[in-house]
Amino acid sequence: MKTWTAWIVMAPCAVLVSGGAAGAVDRPIALKPVVATSWEYVTPGTQVLPRPTLGVGFWQRASGAKPGVGANYVTSMEYQLPEAMPARIRSATFQFSGKPSQCVGVEPVVIDVYAYAGDGRADVADSTAGARVAQLRADCATNPAFTQPIDVTSIVRQLAVPAGVRHVGLNIRKANNRQGPGLFALSPGMLTVVVADQEVAQRPAQTTLPSPSIPPIATVAVRDLRGEYSYLGRGVATVAQNGTDVLVRATWTPMGAGPHYEARGKLNGDTIVGQWYSLYHKKGWFRWVAHVHPNGDIDFARSDDPINVQLQRAVLTRTGAPSTTMLPPGGFTPQRR
């Protein structure tokens, strides 16, 4: 049986970087995370495991395993903010470092960074929480993603309080369906908050976070996914939607035959959870978990595929305008065939 421990600093770790003339200086404060954990999303399957070694990207299982068998890693880090009036937060930047751990190929790994209201504890919900604040790229040879400071000023201002304990969380996820292993080992990032000795002019907040008093899960409007899509080359699919009910009908397989499959699920934020049925093999229903990327692509990588129809490699890319096809009201119940 495997054991794990989250990387924890028991007390707020704030390092005063520099000072200045008395009465008229900004205070740059470098913060280390009070908790940092990686979450391993096993694929194929639905198991999620916490890991103390930080990483982001896809790890390919060895020992003769098929391509696509392994785990996707997401890392979350939380920081205790210094006590300060929001109007005195001049700036806040986040920067993390990393290096290739298991990386093959020339295609870059696209990395998204999300921010959320934290609580100073490790929880699997941290890996999917928040609003995106940056999108970076790294490959197996050069890693520009790990040299770019990320501006999180507006988010820190929203969470800062003059007295009391508040945490901001940042999670780091792989955003594209890159083929082959592309795992990067990460070191705990540094959050630098610059506190002014007087109120500063604030720009309008760019990101709205959930209240720290509720679970740190982002709330977003229902996205319209209706339309025609392609996948894996010659695959063709149509998406219909009624509110949060989503129906995908793949009418043409990448191998040039059809129909392929049908998937039905509920959309919650940027995730669809439901079941899928192979129309080609006449088998199902199997667990379907799809992630909707910011560009509108629908990624099936976390779905179950016990009959090996390459479903986990499918990323639907919209090719046609949204249709007017709607699902009947009242949701759905998958029917056994």
Q: Using CA atoms, how far apart are residues 117 and 158, in angstroms rounded to an integer?
A: 9
Q: Is the pLDDT of residue 64 over 90?
A: no
pLDDT exceeding 90 applies to what percent of the chain? 23
- Closest C-alpha to 43, from 305, 316, 260, 307: 305
**Cα dist from 197 to 18, 25, 274, 308, whole Å:** 14, 6, 52, 61
* Tally of CA atoms within 13 A in the half-sphere of 41 that contains its CB: 21
The pLDDT value given to residue 93? 94
Q: What is the pLDDT of residues 104-132, one digit of tens each?
A: 888 888 888 999 999 999 988 888 888 89
Give the mean pLDDT of 292-297: 84
What are residue 315's DSSP bridge partners?
299
Confidence tier at 144 by pLDDT (50, 70, 90): low
As a whole number, the mean pLDDT across the chain is 78
Q: Is the pLDDT of residue 312 over 50?
A: yes
Q: Which residue has better confidence, 76 or 331?
A: 76
Q: Using CA atoms, how far apart are residues 69 and 182, in angstroms rounded to an integer?
A: 13
The pLDDT value given to residue 152? 93
The pLDDT value given to residue 48? 87
Q: Which residue has better confidence, 192 or 136?
A: 192
| Nearest 10 degrees: Cα torsion 282, 285, 290, 296 | 50
Q: Using CA atoms, how far apart are residues 71 and 255, in angstroms rounded to an integer?
A: 27
Confidence tier at 75 by pLDDT (50, 70, 90): very high
Q: Using CA atoms, how far apart are residues 281 and 259, in angstroms rounded to an integer?
A: 10
Q: What is the pLDDT of residues 208-263, one digit of tens each?
A: 555 444 344 344 457 889 888 888 777 788 898 888 889 998 876 655 566 778 89
Q: Which residue has better confidence, 208 or 101?
A: 101
Token readout for 93 is: 């930047």
The pLDDT value given to residue 331? 39
Q: Of how many residues is the chain composed?
A: 337
**Cα dist from 73 to 114, 278, 332, whole Å:** 14, 28, 32
The pLDDT value given to residue 323? 45
The pLDDT value given to residue 11? 40
Q: Which residue has better confidence, 321 or 74?
A: 74
Query: Are residues 182 and 140 in contact, defined by beta-carbon separation less than 8 angstroms?
Result: yes
Provide the CA 237 distance to its chain's centre, in angstroms.
25
DSSP code for 159: H
DSSP code for 128: G
Give the highest mean pLDDT range of 134-143, 181-190, 299-308.
181-190
Instruction: Kindly list the structural domains of the chain, giving each domain's residue range(s) and its CATH number in brackets, ordered by start.
Output: 7-195 (2.60.120), 227-318 (no CATH)
- Only one residue has tokens 């009624």, namely 242
Query: Are residues 195 and 88 in contact, defined by beta-carbon separation less than 8 angstroms?
Result: yes
Q: Which residue has better confidence, 141 or 78?
A: 78
The pLDDT value given to residue 55? 92
The answer to pTM > 0.75 is: no
Q: Using CA atoms, how far apart are residues 64 and 62, in angstroms rounded to an integer?
A: 6
What are residue 190's DSSP bridge partners?
95
Q: What is the pLDDT of residues 79-97, one digit of tens each?
A: 999 999 999 999 999 999 8
